Amino acid sequence: MGIVEEAHNVKVLGSGTRYIVLAHGFGTDQSVWKHLVPHLLDDFRVVLYDNMGAGTTNPDYFDFDRYSTLQGYAFDLLAILEELRVHSCIFLGHSVSAMIGTVASISRPDLFAKIIMLSASPRYLNDMEYFGGFEQEDLDQLFDAMAANYKAWCSGFAPMAVGGDMESVAVQEFSRTLFNMRPDIALSVLQTIFQSDMREILNLVTVPCHIIQSKKDLAVPIVVAEYLHQNVGGDSVVEVMSTEGHLPQLSSPDIVIPVLLKHIRLNIVTKQ
Active site residues: 95, 217, 246
Buried b (16+ CB within 10 A) or exposed e, 149-164: ebeebbeebbbebbbb
Beta bridge partners of 240: 213
| CA 77 to chain CA mean position, Å | 12
List all residues 6 or more positions away from 69 whose beta carbon is below 8 Å from its beta carbon: 192, 196
Asked if 78 contacts 49 with a C-beta cutoff of 8 angstroms, the reply is no
3 state DSSP class of 211: strand
Helix 150-162, helix 183-194: angle, nearest 10: 50
Judge contact between 55 and 29, C-beta under 8 A: yes
